[in-house]
Structure 1
Amino acid sequence: MAKTGAFQTLLTRLEVPIDQDAEYRNDTYCNRDLIPIPPARRTYKIWSFVVYWIVSGACISAYSTGSSLLAYGLNAQQAMACVVVGGILSGLLAVVCGWMGEVHHIGFTVSSRFSWGMKLFYFPVVLRSFTSIFWFGIQAYWGGQAARVALGALIPGFAHMKNTIPLSSNITTNDLIGTLIWYIAYIPLVLVPPEKMQRPFLVTGIMFGMTLVGLLIWAVKNAGGGGPLFHTPQTTPNVGWSVMFGITSILGSWGAGTLGQSDWTRYAERRYAPTISQLVAAPVMITITALIGVVVTSASSEILGVLYWSPVELLGMIQEHYHSSPRVRAGVFFGGLGCFVSQLSINVVLNSVSTGMDVAGLWPRYINIRRGAYLNAALGVAACPWEILASAGTFLTVISGFGVFLAPLTGIMLADYLIVRKRILSIPDLYLGSRDSIYWYTAGCNFRAVLAWVLGVWPIMPGFVMTICDPTTDNNWVKLFNIAFIVGLSISFFATLAIAAVWPPPYQYVGLPYLDDAVPFGSAPGSKEAERVSAVGGDTKDEKRSGDEESL
């Protein structure tokens, strides 16, 4: 008995903190990071979301995605067309995916419950978390390379450190040390609450922007223009499909970010604060960054004789090209530092907070955003991201592959929220883990969403598998995979509408079109709050059960 009491005491101490005088409690579906954001924590204004997209759009992945399209066989003009179209579509997706955060102040983890059910919502949450693990690892490794370059500029001997790791591992000793340094810098950053991140984001955005401008000036000035790639014809045999693949690559890169836009828009001080930045800042920042990447990659190839599609690798080669002169080393150090802090911010924006909340949704009593972010960081490095980044072709295939699974999630969420439910949600029912919740469906599972997701995934899977096995494969299945994000989103969107027309979900119009802060949430079944929840929309518990049975 004593051991049991000690174990229970330990479990109690391990529970995540609760605010003083909180109107919620930690249980299977609720903790501080999962509740609708209260007014005191809604600190993001219009400029805050502009800063958000400076960090999200002006980053190494945007730079690398644009320039790596050149390695895929497109010329510079075609690559930029892909980036512009992909950036605009990403901005539009960000707007519509962020509405739930603006209106109801809930994130993706909680909003998944009304589409998938109070038990099955774990599926999309785990799926997005799995994708974010790889993205976190990729971004962290880029940050580690930036640390290696910056440290190598200060200590030239570090840049030429003898490699003690086998070449087949696709990572060097100094890159591994740089990655460890990046992780050391990342750990305290997670301690800053998301609602207080605006100013750190602004600083890092400015620093990386200065790095991009510096590279652009150096490349264009020394090459006497934009370089040979602006005058080189494409090498891909099928321009149309390659362009569609390029657009899909852009959407795949920001797919997870747009899917989880409500994770950040829920911090909006007022309605429509995020809209301008999403519509304007998102495509503008993605396009400008990718354009700089294409120009610098093209112009630097005229100077160095090799295409470098990563700005970090380019900085290292610039130092080598000028034989580590003091002046160049200073420029490389600050450029590497800009890339380093950019990777800190981008991982917080697109991976740490969102994935932390997803993991918190799996075990709210013991995991919050902070703990989930640390778990994601550990799994990210375990995913060996340097293997993915070994070639431009592999990088593009992997990020496009993310869209195979995420795009249908986006289509289901948008169709269900915008059209099937007409943006009406019962917030209290999203926190009830019993049949009292109108989102309980069948044993906590909404099999309508499962069917729509499978319909969105299956046409793309054959091409995805074929591309992974042999990147040179070219057939109709592969062509369909090349536009995976567009195809998956469209099929699942219309499939959700068709299924709802034939098999309507129960109580699809019960709730409120906006969050009423007076309505309780996070209430356990059987409590007074739960009894009040049962009256939302004018229904009683017995009527809800009867309605569920009739719907089956």
Structure 2
Amino acid sequence: MSNSKEADPHPSRWHRFLQYIEVPTDPGVPNTPWLNRDLIPMPKERRTYKIWSYFIYWCISGLCISGYTTGSTLLAYGLDATQAIVSLVIGGLIVGVLCVTCGWMGERHHIGFTVACRFSWGMRGAYFPVIVRAFVIIFWDGLQAYWGGQAVAVTIGAIIPGFAHMKQTLAGGILLTKDFIGIIIYYIFFIAIMRIPPERLQKPFIVSSVMFSATLIGLLVWAVSNTHSGGPLFQEQASPVHGGTGWAMLFGITAILGAWGGGTVGQSDWTRYANRPYAPTLSQLIAAPFCIIVCATIGIIVTSCAQAIVGSLIWEPFLLLATLQNYYNDSPKVRAAIFFAGLGCVCAQLGISIVLNSVSAGMDLSGVVPRYINIRRGAYLLAFLGLASNPWQYLSNASTFLTVLSGFGIFFAPFSGILLADYFVVRRCMIKLEDCYIGDKRSIYWYHNGVNWRAPLAWVLGVFPTMPGLIMTTRDATAWNVWVRIFHIAFFVGRFAAIKRCLKHSPKFGNSAGLLISFVAFSVICWISPPGNVGIGVLYHEENSFEVEGELETEEKGKGPV
């Protein structure tokens, strides 16, 4: 592995510039085309997450606006409120188990998804799943920022009623000026928080989870105290859209799985910060389902009661807050409550963007260009691209675009299936970590020209059964046949139905069928044609056992953070 700073007695101005913009390094960890300080197995001094840290992590992931609106997906399938809550319980428990399995390699080997793909796909082949995930996260992050901007606008409007009633628009009338101002302010807070390294984010996460938890409790108390019941949604009879209650329940459960599909795929991005083995496990098994179930249940109850009070079905909590300010005629007491509740929504958006988007996408982009991008820079680039994607544009024309975007999830689940099969079944949790950072034939994970042909084949087999349903759904959202049923069952999130009903909801799809098919396919392919590098390495990362080639130059050691 070559040194990041090659000796050159007369470097050109361009080479000096490239050297200057390289990411900071740690002693003994040079920047190369395959690693930087954010990609190596997490050193002990940076493993700061304890058991309680992962409880807070799941308060962020489960108690969020996306989780709050999950009920809209379930009810859009034709479930009644009680059936939706049953689906939440079953789906939430399964999510907890998936989180443990997907986070195991991060907990034991302290590597994230970006590096883990290298031993399954090959050193060059790993670029494919990493780039696909980063691409989809750009649009997802833009949607989350748009929600965050609206929450900021509601919070400011509680202080300045004139701002809340501002009607000026931008982008041809699609975007409210106050929402655009909110987005800019949201990004200022986001950039400030991302200055904090991931291993030191526990305190901001605590603030975020406490603030939004208070918002949820406040909305629940207001809703129930005003209606003295669960509202009309608990009195309506279920009328499943397709296939009867059984299909609707099945769709509902897979919808819960999919809503947190991205979080399960990227669990190792965070479990690699665990300070000891099994630190994340209890939180994943208990806190994950608990937070998912509680948040979505509160969302259903509050939305149901609010419908009886204000006369309309409003799933987004920040839009409900804006409606209540009008409903109570800008009452000072109500505006004070809305300010703190809106601030809780802002904190929730900041937290979920960092947990599910920024750190993961930052690692992915870092894996593509390690010399010049680390997690922080990747997060900044993600924020810029998310804003540049103009989320208000594709939300205003949701039908086709969101179907296609949500369909990208059918590509995600096979990634998980391949990785889990390779790690648990083929390699039995044994990895040679050093070879995940060598980009030539010396690495046992080089395979053929840097690509393990078994992974693309298993991925195609996992994706193929769901493609006809995706194409049919894109052409006609009301289509219902065997291919569409396979497509919907394959979804880890069935959120498109909710988008049609409530166009502000953002999609995040995955696919359980694709996961199972790719898992089995990869296992069988490796049984027929073994990779040849199985049984080499360690079962867990041992302290001081990982070494990288190359030495840091003196000036690199003194380079400050960028």
The normalised TM-score by structure 2 is 0.89
Say if 1:248 and 1:387 are closer, same or farther in 2 by CA, change over 3 A.
Answer: farther
Amino acid corresponding to residue 515 of structure 2 in structure 1: L
| TM-aligned CA deviation for residue 394 of structure 1 | 8.2
Structure 2 partner of 1:11: 18
Structure 2 partner of 1:163: 168
Amino acid corresponding to residue 429 of structure 1 in structure 2: D
Structure 2 partner of 1:428: 434
Mapped to 2, the partners of 1:293 and 1:24 lie a distance apart of: 47
Amino acid corresponding to residue 373 of structure 2 in structure 1: I
| TM-aligned CA deviation for residue 376 of structure 1 | 0.8
Amino acid corresponding to residue 470 of structure 2 in structure 1: F
| TM-aligned CA deviation for residue 363 of structure 1 | 0.4
Q: Aligned pair count?
A: 522
2:73–2:252 contact (8 Å) kept in structure 1: no
Moved more, 130-139 or 319-328: 130-139
1:102 aligns with 2:128: no
Moved more, 293-302 or 134-143: 134-143
Superposed structure 1 runs of 4+ greater than 6 Å apart: 1-4, 391-396
Structure 1 partner of 2:544: 518
Mapped to 1, the partners of 2:374 and 2:440 lie a distance apart of: 23
Structure 2 partner of 1:255: 261
Structure 2 partner of 1:236: 240
Task: Give the CA RMSD over aligned residues.
Answer: 2.1
1:64 aligns with 2:69: yes
Mapped to 2, the partners of 1:244 and 1:158 lie a distance apart of: 44
Amino acid corresponding to residue 512 of structure 1 in structure 2: V
Say if 1:382 and 1:166 are closer, same or farther in 2 by CA, change over 3 A.
Answer: closer
Residue of 514, 529, 536 corresponding to 1:503? 529
- Within 5 Å, give how 1:319-334 maps onto structure 2: 319-334=325-340
Structure 2 partner of 1:446: 452
Mapped to 2, the partners of 1:79 and 1:399 lie a distance apart of: 25
Amino acid corresponding to residue 501 of structure 1 in structure 2: W
SS at match of 2:31: coil
| TM-aligned CA deviation for residue 395 of structure 1 | 10
Amino acid corresponding to residue 229 of structure 1 in structure 2: L
Residue of 95, 112, 116 corresponding to 2:121? 116
Mapped to 2, the partners of 1:405 and 1:457 lie a distance apart of: 6
| TM-aligned CA deviation for residue 72 of structure 1 | 3.8
Structure 1 partner of 2:310: 304
2:431–2:539 contact (8 Å) kept in structure 1: yes
1:93 aligns with 2:98: yes
CA deviation profile, 1:453-504 (whole Å, cap 9, x unmatched): 1111111122122223322222221111112211111111111111111111
| TM-aligned CA deviation for residue 141 of structure 1 | 1.1
Structure 2 partner of 1:214: 218
SS at match of 1:515: coil
Structure 1 partner of 2:206: 202
Mapped to 2, the partners of 1:316 and 1:392 lie a distance apart of: 23
SS at match of 2:545: coil
1:431–1:521 contact (8 Å) kept in structure 2: no
The normalised TM-score by structure 1 is 0.91
1:69–1:79 contact (8 Å) kept in structure 2: yes
Moved more, 264-273 or 456-465: 456-465
CA deviation profile, 1:22-61 (whole Å, cap 9, x unmatched): 1221001110000111111111100000000001110000
| TM-aligned CA deviation for residue 397 of structure 1 | 5.2
Residue of 101, 112, 132 corresponding to 1:127? 132
| TM-aligned CA deviation for residue 246 of structure 1 | 2.2
Say if 1:431 and 1:438 are closer, same or farther in 2 by CA, change over 3 A.
Answer: same
Structure 2 partner of 1:401: 407
Moved more, 219-228 or 79-88: 79-88
Amino acid corresponding to residue 522 of structure 1 in structure 2: V
2:51–2:283 contact (8 Å) kept in structure 1: yes
Mapped to 1, the partners of 2:391 and 2:85 lie a distance apart of: 26
Structure 1 partner of 2:345: 339
1:492 aligns with 2:518: yes
Gaps of 5+ in 1: 526-552
Say if 1:168 and 1:506 are closer, same or farther in 2 by CA, change over 3 A.
Answer: farther
| TM-aligned CA deviation for residue 93 of structure 1 | 1.0
Gaps of 5+ in 2: 1-7, 491-510, 552-562
SS at match of 1:236: coil
| TM-aligned CA deviation for residue 77 of structure 1 | 1.5
CA deviation profile, 1:48-90 (whole Å, cap 9, x unmatched): 0000000111000000122343234321112222222221121
| TM-aligned CA deviation for residue 12 of structure 1 | 0.4
Amino acid corresponding to residue 5 of structure 1 in structure 2: S
Amino acid corresponding to residue 257 of structure 1 in structure 2: G
| TM-aligned CA deviation for residue 223 of structure 1 | 1.6
CA deviation profile, 1:247-306 (whole Å, cap 9, x unmatched): 222222211111111111111010000000000000100110000001111111011111
Residue of 180, 183, 187 corresponding to 2:187? 183
